[in-house]
Amino acid sequence: MNEYVVAVLGAATDPDLAGDDAERIRERLARAGLLAPTGHARRRPDPDAVAAARAAAGRGTQLSDIVASDRA
């Protein structure tokens, strides 16, 4: 972990890797091999689907009851 942090800080503070602020940080991280691939753009889930999932999450058998019944 320390090695990673040192590499990120070094990439972010090396004045030889310049550009505008956001691009400079990306460039430094890329040159240091620390830039994560962007992947596909993600969409937020439908708010109604999230509300339904939250409502359903509180139903069912409580974990404590499952553990207690397994011990019996």
Helices (H), 1-72: 2-13, 21-31, 47-57, 63-71
What's the mean per-residue pLDDT of the chain? 79
Q: Is 8 helix (H, G, I), strand (E, B) or coil?
A: helix
Number of other residues whose CB lies within 10 A of the CB of residue 32:
16
Q: pLDDT digit string (tens) for 44-63? A: 899 999 999 988 887 888 88
Do residues 11 and 29 make contact, with C-beta atoms less than 8 angstroms apart? Answer: yes
Do residues 28 and 53 make contact, with C-beta atoms less than 8 angstroms apart? Answer: no
For range 6-32, the mean pLDDT: 71
Residue-range definition of the domain harbouring residue 20: 2-38+45-71
pTM over 0.85: no
Read off the pLDDT band of 38 (50, 70, 90): confident
- The total number of structural domains that make up the chain: 1
